[in-house]
Amino acid sequence: MKIARVCAVYFSATGNTRKVVTALGRAMAACFETPLEVLDFTLPAAREERCDFAPTDLVIFGTPTYAGKVPNKLLPFVKSGFAGNGALCVAVVTFGNRAYDNSLAELCACLEADGFHTVAGGAFAAQHAFSKTLAAGRPDEEDMTELGKFGAAIAGKLSRATTPGEPVRVPGAADAPYYTPRGLDGEPKMFLKAKPVTDPDKCTQCGVCAALCPMGSIDPADPAQVNGVCIKCHSCVKNCPVEAKYFTDEAFLSHRAMLERDYTRRAAPEWFV
How far apart CA 186 and CA 209 sit, in angstroms, is 33
Summarised one tens digit per residue, pLDDT across range 37-60 is: 999 999 999 999 999 999 999 999
The pLDDT of residue 269 is: 98
Residues 6+ positions from 30 with CB-CB distance below 8 Å: none
Q: How far apart are CA 128 and CA 260, in angstroms?
A: 10
For residue 161, the model assigns a pLDDT of 87
DSSP state of 265: S
Query: Which domains are present in the chain?
Result: 5-177+265-272 (3.40.50.360), 197-248 (3.30.70.20)
End-to-end distance of the chain based on CA atoms, in angstroms? 15
Strand pairing category for 245-246 and 197-198: antiparallel
| pLDDT reading at 153 higher than 90 | yes
Residue in 194, 188, 189, 230 with CA at minimum distance from that of residue 213? 230
Residue 215, SS3?
Answer: coil
DSSP 45: G
Instruction: Indicate the burial class of 112 (C-beta count within 10 angstroms; 0-12, 13-18, 19 or more).
Output: middle
Residues 6+ away with beta carbon under 8 Å from 102: 68, 69, 172, 173, 174, 176
pLDDT at 1 over 90: no
How confident is the model over 72-86, as a mean pLDDT?
97
Q: Model pTM greater than 0.85?
A: yes
User: Reduced to 3 DSSP states, what percent helix, strand and coil does the chain have, rounded to the nearest 5?
Assistant: 30, 20, 50
Peptide bond into 200 cis (omega under 30): no
